[in-house]
Amino acid sequence: MFATYFLLLSSLGLVITTQAQDCSKPAGGDNMGLKGDDILLQTFPEGKKVTFACNVGYVTAGGSASITCNAGNWTTLKLKCERSNCGSAGEVENGNVDYPEGTEFGDKLVVTCNTGFHMVPNKGQILCGAQGWMDRLPECEVVTCDPPPAVAKGVFSPVKESYDYREVVQYKCQSDYTLNGSSSISCSEHGTFGPAPTCVIVRCEDPNIANGQQVDGSRPPHGYRSTVTYECKSGYVIEGGRTLTCGIDSQWLPGLPTCQRRDCGSAGEVENGNVDYPEGTRFGDKLVVTCNTGFKMVPNKGQIICGAQGWMDRLPTCEVVRCEDPNIANGYQVNGSRPPHGYNSTVTYECISGYVMEGRRTLTCGIDGQWLPGLPTCQRKNCGSAGDVDNGNVDYPEGTRFGDKLVVTCNTGFNMVPNKGQILCGAQGWMDRLPVCEVVTCYPPPEVVNGVFTPVKESYDYREVVQYKCQNDYTLNGSSSISCSENGTFGPAPTCVMVRCEDPNIANGDQVEGSRPPHGYMSTVTYECKSGYVLEGGRTLTCGIDSQWSPGLPTCQRITPPPKPTTTSTTTTTDSRPTTPDNHGDNLAIGLGVTVLVSITVLYLQHY
Ligand SMILES: *[C@@H]1O[C@H](CO)[C@@H](O)[C@H](O)[C@H]1NC(C)=O
Ligand SMILES: *[C@@H]1O[C@H](CO)[C@@H](O)[C@H](O)[C@H]1NC(C)=O
Ligand SMILES: *[C@@H]1O[C@H](CO)[C@@H](O)[C@H](O)[C@H]1NC(C)=O
Ligand SMILES: *[C@@H]1O[C@H](CO)[C@@H](O)[C@H](O)[C@H]1NC(C)=O
Ligand SMILES: *[C@@H]1O[C@H](CO)[C@@H](O)[C@H](O)[C@H]1NC(C)=O
Ligand SMILES: *[C@@H]1O[C@H](CO)[C@@H](O)[C@H](O)[C@H]1NC(C)=O
């Protein structure tokens, strides 16, 4: 602005001077102006001397300040003006003086206080004027803080009215309380203390970690900085830190871990099969192995559980199916595949003669290497029951199968016809018809002299009875009836005999009762002895079938004194009497018997 103004003036002056000898208004150098009243003139006469002066804020830097108008031209102006310099303004304690533009006229110095100090007066800029720095430097005074806030359940120290910048107070809590926040705060550059800590009761809840258990660390109540260490149950894996620390906010740090079911991951591949994880691969999950068609699992364990240490079994393998060559006793293969028998191959079997198949004759090799529907067996043919035999019995001591024999027996009195008591069970059944049991028959029994039998037939069946009868005067000797035996014979036939017992002749005895001659069968006679005789033997006699009196004839013995014997036989008898008194009766009987025998013999001899 100034420059433009001066330029304009100079140009005008130049125009004027060319027209007159006066000088036009002279142009000064930079930062200078005409001194005094000359500044008001527009033209200057010849010889006029004008003096220049430096503008305010500028000082002469040498050279004459005056010029003279000479023939319309001014002499050369030598004056140089340069800006005045205020120089250093000095130092500010706890602060800094900066001269961003310099220290020359118009420049500003800038005062800043160090952190924690404030300027008094708060005038941070001073201008360099024509007369030097236009103000005194301010001072940097330290910042002060009012006492920090009191805290519940705690104290701080030191306690003062005022605190300088950076002065520190320490907080402490009562026992059981924990400082939340920094234990010390300091007076800030803003004249305030930072936020005071608080005194808090820290109680972390006993951690509840599903499928986990504490293995180390504190017991409740868990105070500040207590630690607990957890582990997971078998089969579970910890996620998160296993050691927890009770934080100031009564929360566990770094947060409760979780126990995740262990992941067994992939169990691998099964050749010719497939591994499936229907539930997943975590602890307790099952994998399922299946084999492709024609392959079977070895071992046959298609499921494996993910356990605490990983999959609890090795994967089975899928092996090509092979059925063993069937071994069927008494059977033979008639058709089908030859070993090795693969899946779906078939074989057909038959049984040897006499054996019948139980089960299916055609087998298919199943997926598990077993023949389906299972091996048949060749059972001996069963001939079953052969039926019943009247009046006999059919027995199967070995059974009714091929090769076994049945045994037929006839009841007593029956004959087997034909006489073949054993029949074999053959491939086509029992190899013979059952025999029959025919009743045993007898020819008529023998005729008897003087007698007859009834009934009279040509033939008699087993057990049939015939009755014998004798003509008058004849007596049956033997059983009156005989029967046809199982041997086909009658027992011995009775005979018809003429029974005649002789009239007894008993010396010194008399018949007192009974029959008179002729004495027939079962006739009886009773005897008594004459006076002076005693009967020895039975007094009553019966006529037997053999025409002899029974029990034999008695004798009549004379009653005599003991020392006087009568016969030699009685003497013999009496001699033995005293020695064996116990046998007295027997000896007497023998004695009597001998006597009777002798007497009868005598009679018999006299008779003939
Ligand atoms: C004045 O100055 C002009 C320009 O320099 C010049 O042409 C002229 O001759 C001078 N006059 C005198 C009298 O020296
Ligand atoms: C601890 O101090 C912080 C900051 O002042 C506050 O947010 C927090 O709630 C305090 N914690 C407790 C447990 O008082
Ligand atoms: C053997 O098998 C073939 C083919 O299945 C069949 O045609 C033939 O009749 C069978 N032979 C016997 C003896 O079963
Ligand atoms: C097994 O054999 C049957 C009958 O011959 C046939 O239908 C089936 O497709 C076969 N299966 C395989 C897997 O070969
Ligand atoms: C039948 O004959 C047997 C042998 O010959 C014989 O032992 C048995 O006593 C006889 N039975 C009869 C009742 O004759
Ligand atoms: C009676 O029969 C039996 C047996 O057959 C025989 O021993 C006996 O002599 C017979 N008696 C008479 C008197 O014929």
Q: Is the pLDDT of residue 249 over 80?
A: yes
Residue 433 structural domain = 392-439
- Residue in 332, 334, 335 to alter for ligand 3 test, most ligand atoms within 8 A of Cβ: 335
pLDDT band at 120 (very low <50, low <70, confident <90, very high): very high
254 preceded by a cis bond (ω within 30 of 0): yes
Tell me which ligand sits closest to the C-alpha of residue 337.
Answer: 3
Summary mean pLDDT of the chain: 87
pLDDT at 296: 86
In the block, tokens 């201008």 appear at: 127
Q: Whose CA is nearest to atom 6 of ligand 2?
A: 180
Judgement on whether residues 425 and 447 belong to the same structural domain of the protein? no
pLDDT band at 568 (very low <50, low <70, confident <90, very high): very low
Q: Residue 327 to residues 180, 251, 352, 373: CA-CA distances in angstroms?
A: 89, 76, 14, 15
Q: Do the domain assignments include residue 312? A: yes
Judgement on whether residues 151 and 182 belong to the same structural domain of the protein? yes
Centre of ligand 2 to C-alpha 249, Å, is 7
Centre of ligand 2 to C-alpha 181, Å, is 7
Distance of alpha carbon 390 from its chain centroid, rounded? Answer: 65
Centre of ligand 4 to C-alpha 372, Å, is 13
Centre of ligand 2 to C-alpha 248, Å, is 8
Give pLDDT tens digits for 290-344: 999 889 898 989 999 999 889 999 999 999 989 999 999 999 999 999 999 999 9
In the chain, the number of structural domains is 9
Q: Whose CA is nearest to atom 2 of ligand 5?
A: 487
Judgement on whether residues 331 and 356 belong to the same structural domain of the protein? yes
Judgement on whether residues 316 and 347 belong to the same structural domain of the protein? no
Q: Is the pLDDT of residue 217 over 90?
A: yes
Q: Do the domain assignments include residue 364? A: yes
Q: Do the domain assignments include residue 458? A: yes
Task: Tell whether ligand 2 has an atom less than 6 A from the beta carbon of residue 145.
Answer: no
Q: Do the domain assignments include residue 128? A: yes
Judgement on whether residues 125 and 150 belong to the same structural domain of the protein? no
Q: Do the domain assignments include residue 356? A: yes
Centre of ligand 1 to C-alpha 73, Å, is 6
Taking 3-state DSSP, the helix, strand and coil percentages for the chain, each rounded to the nearest 5, stand at 10, 40, 50
Q: Whose CA is nearest to atom 1 of ligand 4?
A: 344
Task: Tell whether ligand 2 has an atom less than 6 A from the beta carbon of residue 181.
Answer: yes
Q: Is the pLDDT of residue 586 over 90?
A: no
Q: What would the mean pLDDT of 446-457 be, rounded to a whole number?
A: 93
Q: What would the mean pLDDT of 380-391 be, rounded to a whole number?
A: 93
Provide the CATH number for the domain around residue 56: 2.10.70.10
Q: Whose CA is nearest to atom 5 of ligand 1?
A: 73
Task: Tell whether ligand 4 has an atom less than 6 A from the beta carbon of residue 346.
Answer: no
Q: Whose CA is nearest to atom 4 of ligand 5?
A: 487
Q: What would the mean pLDDT of 570-579 be, rounded to a whole number?
A: 38
Give the span between the Cα atoms of 355 and 402, in whole angstroms.
7
Q: For ligand 5, what atom is nearest to the CA of residue 485? A: 13
Last residue of a domain, one of 171, 201, 231: 201
Q: Provide the token pair at 151.
A: 């805290």
Give pLDDT tens digits for 73-117: 899 999 999 888 999 989 999 999 999 999 999 999 999 999 999
Task: Tell whether ligand 3 has an atom less than 6 A from the beta carbon of residue 348.
Answer: yes
Residue 557, beta-bridge partner list:
534
Q: Residue 532 to residues 509, 521, 559, 595: CA-CA distances in angstroms?
A: 11, 33, 5, 18
Angle 223-225-231 from CA coordinates, rounded to 5°: 95
Judgement on whether residues 42 and 61 belong to the same structural domain of the protein? yes
Task: Tell whether ligand 2 has an atom less than 6 A from the beta carbon of residue 251.
Answer: no
Judgement on whether residues 171 and 149 belong to the same structural domain of the protein? yes
pLDDT at 316: 95
Task: Tell whether ligand 3 has an atom less than 6 A from the beta carbon of residue 335.
Answer: yes
Tell me which ligand sits closest to the C-alpha of residue 204.
Answer: 2
Q: Is the pLDDT of residue 580 over 80?
A: no
Q: Do the domain assignments include residue 297? A: yes
Give the span between the Cα atoms of 267 and 316, in whole angstroms.
11
DSSP string of 118-170, one letter each residue: EEES---EEEEETTEESS---EEEEPEEPPPPP-TTEEEE---S-EETT-EEE
Q: What would the mean pLDDT of 366-394 be, rounded to a whole number?
A: 93
Angle 20-28-13 from CA coordinates, rounded to 5°: 25
In the block, tokens 């934080």 appear at: 247
Q: Do the domain assignments include residue 593? A: no
Q: For ligand 3, what atom is nearest to the CA of residue 334? A: 13
pLDDT at 364: 95
Tell me which ligand sits closest to the C-alpha of residue 342.
Answer: 4
Q: Whose CA is nearest to atom 6 of ligand 1?
A: 73
Q: Is the pLDDT of residue 566 over 70?
A: no
Residues in the chain: 608
- Residue in 412, 442, 483, 485 to alter for ligand 5 test, most ligand atoms within 8 A of Cβ: 485
Q: What would the mean pLDDT of 515-526 be, rounded to a whole number?
A: 92
pLDDT at 562: 63
Q: Whose CA is nearest to atom 14 of ligand 4?
A: 344
Last residue of a domain, one of 418, 439, 460: 439
Tell me which ligand sits closest to the C-alpha of residue 489.
Answer: 5
Q: Do the domain assignments include residue 124? A: yes
Centre of ligand 2 to C-alpha 244, Å, is 20
Give the span between the Cα atoms of 136 and 369, in whole angstroms.
114
In the block, tokens 């006793």 appear at: 329
